[in-house]
Amino acid sequence: MSTDYHKMWAELGLDLKMHDALLNVLGEGYQQTFLTQKNRPEGMQYFDFVMSEVHGLRIKELRDAQAEGRVVVGSFCVFVPEELILAVDGISVGLCTGAEFGFDLAEKYLPRNTCSLIKSAFGFNLSKVCPYMESADMIVGENTCDGKKKSYEEFGKLVKNLYMMDLPQTKSASGKALLKAEYQRFQKALEELSGKKITVENLKKGIEIVNNKRKAIHRLAKLRAADPAPISGLDALLINQIYFYDNPVRFTESVNKTCDELEERISKKEGVFPPDAPRLLVSGCPMAVPNWKLPTIIEQSGAVIVGEESCVGERGTRNETVIEGNSVEELLDNIIERYFQIDCAIFTPNPDRKDHLIEMAEKYKADGVVHYSLQFCQPYDIESHNVEKELEEAEIPVLNLVTDYSAEDMGQLSTRVEAFIERIKE
């Protein structure tokens, strides 16, 4: 970080000692994971910069925007529609956390057998190390899995601005009606928070910004179908993670610029891995910053990741919102159509996810799928058995892994990933 932000962090109420410790660990992890990769696209320099300033310059930008009267809305789920937040000139930031930090504190509120993603959100909050949580004017929680749903009851006691969104559990007409009612309620809450009314014009603008961001990400995803792969899975994951933090217009430009470079690489048959490297998809629970453990193991074992079937990845970003409509309600219906297609494992039944995986395997020429569940995540862990069975029947090899945020199982994971890569090679 080029500037000393300690004063700003102190004003936000962060625990400076803990926060410095976190930044040190993050910095070292980043250096070892990303900066040691060979032949990275030059465009990654922008994303390296964003990461180096993720607790610095970006937080300053949020505070400057707040000083101008704009609101910051933090969320944990891709069902929270960024289009509505942008329509009130707000800023949307992801709050999902991917590090084992403050778990001892979190376990004072949560049972030990809670998934790491939930524990991490509590740990970051209780340790006072997350400037995004402390900056947010509204934090949106959602009734998705049981773990999240019940833990927000406790989380609501720790923060003063938690807003709960109810989400459907089935892809039924009543499920869609619930989503519509909840998005309408969210619209009102945003209007009250910001003091700005959602209109056809500002909502169309919000949809356009998010569509452009998704278009850029789709372009990146398509380029990864090339053989040799022009970008590592780790770098592509990083871009998908930064999707949740960066200014959306600037992010879109930077992704498109990187895609221009990747197209050139592809035309010259340049890649980050040799052409015969096994190509894998990763599917399952979202991987929030700085959860890079499994992708690092996979790529250090010689395979390249060519797609993520995840909320930090294609499950979260696919499909655009239709922008045609003459009323806010029509546009809201278009938004609902788009979001209702998200095939999160909290839905029952959830056959679309398996179909999407088969489609991705074909599109990105993947040789196999690594299914990743966080320990104690019932939706993804239970669903993994059926996903594995149906993919294997479609002759797509699957490695089913359950892990957490600790480094303890790295040796064991490496052994299983290496054996899977051998299986694919055979």
Sheet holding 304-309, edge to edge: 304-309, 279-284, 368-374, 398-403
| One residue of 5, 47, 79, 245 binding ligand BJ8 per CB under 6 A | 79
x/- binding map, residues 300-339, to ligand BJ8, per CB under 6 A?
-----------x----------------------------
Q: Which of 56-87 are b and which e, b meaning 16 or more Cβ less than 10 Å from the residue's Cβ?
A: bbbbeebeebeeeebbbbbbbbbbbbbbbbbb
Closer of 113 and 174 to ligand BJ8 (Cβ): 113
Note whether 294 binds ligand BJ8 by CB under 6 A.
no
Note whether 342 binds ligand BJ8 by CB under 6 A.
yes
Round to whole Å and give the CA distance between 132 and 12: 10
Note whether 374 binds ligand BJ8 by CB under 6 A.
yes
Round to whole Å and give the CA distance between 313 and 327: 31
| One residue of 73, 77, 85, 130 binding ligand BJ8 per CB under 6 A | 77
Tokens of 286: 């979202």
Note whether 216 binds ligand BJ8 by CB under 6 A.
no
Round to whole Å and give the CA distance between 380 and 384: 6
Stretch that binds ligand BJ8, among 56-64, 125-133, 341-349, 387-395 (CB under 6 A): 341-349
Stretch that binds ligand BJ8, among 14-22, 59-67, 139-147, 153-161 (CB under 6 A): 139-147
| One residue of 346, 361, 369, 396 binding ligand BJ8 per CB under 6 A | 346
Closer of 134 and 381 to ligand BJ8 (Cβ): 381
Note whether 138 binds ligand BJ8 by CB under 6 A.
no
Paired residues of 374 in beta bridges: 403
* Residue 47: burial class (beta carbons within 10 Å; 0-12, 13-18, 19+): buried
The answer for 102, left when phi > 0, alpha when psi is -120 to 50, beta otherwise, is: left
Residues near ligand BJ8 (CB under 6 A): 77-79, 115, 117-118, 144-145, 147-148, 285-286, 311, 342, 344, 346, 374, 377, 379-380
